[in-house]
Structure 1
Amino acid sequence: MSRRVRRRPSATPAGQAEPGPRRWRLQPLALLPALLAIAGMLLFAYPTVAAWVTQYNQSKIITSYDVAVDTADPAAAVQLSQAHAYNDALSSGAVLEANANIPTGAGSGGDDALDYDSILDANGAGLMARLRIPAINLDLPVYHGTSDETLLTGLGHLEGTSLPVGGAGTRSVITGHRGLADARMFTDLNRVGVGDKFVIEVFGEVLTYQVIDTKVVEPDETEALRAEEGRDLVTLVTCTPLGINTHRILVTGERIYPTPQEDLDAAGQPPTVPAFPWWAVGLAAGFILVGLYVWRSGYPPRKRPARSKSSPESSQVAPEATSPSEAVLSGPNDDFQPPFGKHP
């Protein structure tokens, strides 16, 4: 018994060659959206990346602060004694001037032998202290003076106000920029509220202050920042609104006695900022997606094979019967004869 099986028509029409493998080729037009995407990612990530890098560099300075204090000349105890003598010699506090980035020191020392720049200088570059504000995750170095160069690298102590070594009848003023594109500095100082704490580490001493007052000063108030008898105060100053700098934010803290044990334990520890750079993970993912886009665009689109022109009858393919029983169940078939003859 023989049977005839019809072949399925070939997917490739007669006379046409099988399509060859697709070859990758760089498409210049695909580079334009890729470059635009990369530029957009870098522009969007720049403030975060720049602030992280700046904070990382500042954390390295803070980490080396204790080592610098241990090797300071004169020794730490001598410089602390000079700082207290400097504070005792001050005759007045500081005033806030309108349309200026920083307050103006109005105090003066009565002892010419007490050179401001040489007192509490840990590394020969003006590094004075370390300021931590847990409420806003801030950990920054404090330098002598408030020059533009100083305030771009950290916080600045206002000359003419008490040095930040504590003591009754003192008020130290520490200033910082706000709203810099490449650094946080005092950008979040407006989030510090009454009851929050900040800590100053200076030449082995740990001073903890609790915020007792926060306010915004208008330019025409010209308020004096003077020491108050019997009180140990520190005022943090920055400008507001962002980019306009017509007002001042004042955050004043009063010394806590005794110094909390947790602050003593944290003294000298490496900074916990900056945190893990998750922005690097995001950028890496973005670059991978752009790379995949460029790679995929280098391949030409797949071409569908053209259908052969044939009659409807020839295009229909009868199902193959694998056994006589399947052929009987599938219906009449001219090519198949039942084994027992035709039925009446």
Structure 2
Amino acid sequence: MRRRGRGASPPPTRSRENADERGEGHVNDDVTAATAQTRARPPRSDARRRPRWRPSVLLLVTLAAAVTGATVFAYAPAAQWLADYNQALIVDGYPQSVAAAVPGPADQRAEAHRYNEALSAGAILAADANVPTSSARTGQEFDYASMLRTDSGVMSRIQIPSIGVDLPIYHGTDEATLRKGAGHLEGTSLPVGGASTHAVITAHRGLPEAAMFTDLDRVKKGDLFTLTTFGEVLTYRVIDARVVDPADTETLRQEEGRDLVTLVTCTPLGINSHRILVTGERETPNPPQSVVAAGGLAEGAGFPWWAVAYLAALVVIGVYGWWAGRSTAARSRLAGRDAPADAPME
């Protein structure tokens, strides 16, 4: 046998070789476990890229339908509120328009009285007409459009406290005029009062965007309404309220010595086959409450509660949409985690 030199290292023993093999085995096991965990768990970058709100098509359709429905329900009160707001602005500006009118208020009222004295007939409610017509003529030439004229186009103001009406009165009864407020029927007495006069004021009923004379059927005998014309307050007490069949043509004429005003609108709502007539006779002297109300500002449209309700509905719809979309995304993420991992390669 050969002897080993002093500088030669001894050969590895069997026990050391076994230890090395066990160490390598543990390393391989750790690598395999780490690889499996990596496959089972999505990368951080992928998780961040996933949307946190993932609505379904059904959810989007539902949200769109809910918003549309809320808007439709809010339209009528919103339109009426805006109409009331605009009419209040016009009514509140009427005294300034009268003060700036040329000729002045006293001269214009005097001219209106001369116009009334020249009238020869009253108004006719035709069966096929939406508003009354007039066969009246004046004994001398008068320019109706120049009577009680202001820059704003408003000739008077009507207030019916029992039903909360406060409207400007314009010349004529064409459709464009009646969309803005009440109209004075040309050919009937101008609303300045006086013996043997009969003025006819008409307005729409049942408009979705404005109240106008919608509640005129609620006015009863004994109720008061007020006309304010170029600074003069005229109070009328209701003496008659009736529904007229236009097939039985009825004429509204002046009555000797009486100061009358008739308010006219159509009925039933949406059909307009009949007419509501509310006639008032002049009350003198003016009741104090009428004078006070006539000198005050219009009540206006009030607080827009419809806007609060509409915004609240949109908030509820938005919160529900956010929650439902998040739930859909969460279910999708859980489904991805529960999917089986890829089988390890052999």
- TM-score band by shorter chain is 0.7 to 0.9
Residues 72, 122 of structure 1: 8 Å contact kept? yes
Distance 2:244 2:291 in 1: 34
Structure of higher CA gyration radius: 2
Equivalence for 1:74:
103
Residues 137, 273 of structure 1: 8 Å contact kept? no
Distance 2:186 2:293 in 1: 28
Which of residues 161, 166, 176 is equivalent to 2:193? 166
Offset of 1:23 from its aligned partner? 5.7
Offset of 1:175 from its aligned partner? 0.6
Question: Does 1:249 find its partner at 2:276?
Answer: yes
Residues 92, 227 of structure 1: 8 Å contact kept? yes
Offset of 1:17 from its aligned partner? 6.1
Equivalence for 1:262:
289
Distance 2:201 2:56 in 1: 55
Matches within 5 A, 1:173-192: 173-192=200-219
The sequence identity of aligned pairs, in percent, is 51
Question: Does 1:33 find its partner at 2:68?
Answer: no
Offset of 1:67 from its aligned partner? 0.4
Which of residues 299, 306, 321 is equivalent to 1:272? 299
Residues 108, 160 of structure 1: 8 Å contact kept? yes
Q: Which runs of no fewer than 5 residues in structure 1 stay unpaired? A: 1-13, 307-344
Question: Does 1:116 find its partner at 2:144?
Answer: yes
3-state SS, counterpart of residue 271 of structure 2: coil
Give the partner amino acid of 1:61: I
Matches within 5 A, 1:86-97: 86-97=115-126
Structure 1 or 2: more helix by fraction? 2
- TM-score between both structures, scaled by the size of structure 1: 0.80
CA RMSD of aligned residues (A): 2.1
Residues 142, 154 of structure 1: 8 Å contact kept? yes
Distance 1:285 1:126 in 2: 40
Offset of 1:301 from its aligned partner? 3.9
Distance 2:155 2:56 in 1: 56
Residues 132, 199 of structure 1: 8 Å contact kept? yes
Residues 132, 200 of structure 1: 8 Å contact kept? yes
Equivalence for 2:16:
none
Give the partner amino acid of 2:128: N
Distance 2:265 2:153 in 1: 20
Distance 2:170 2:110 in 1: 19
Distance 2:217 2:128 in 1: 19
Give the partner amino acid of 2:287: P
Distance 1:68 1:183 in 2: 24
Number of equivalences: 291
Residues 131, 202 of structure 2: 8 Å contact kept? yes
Q: Which runs of no fewer than 5 residues in structure 2 stay unpaired? A: 1-35, 339-346
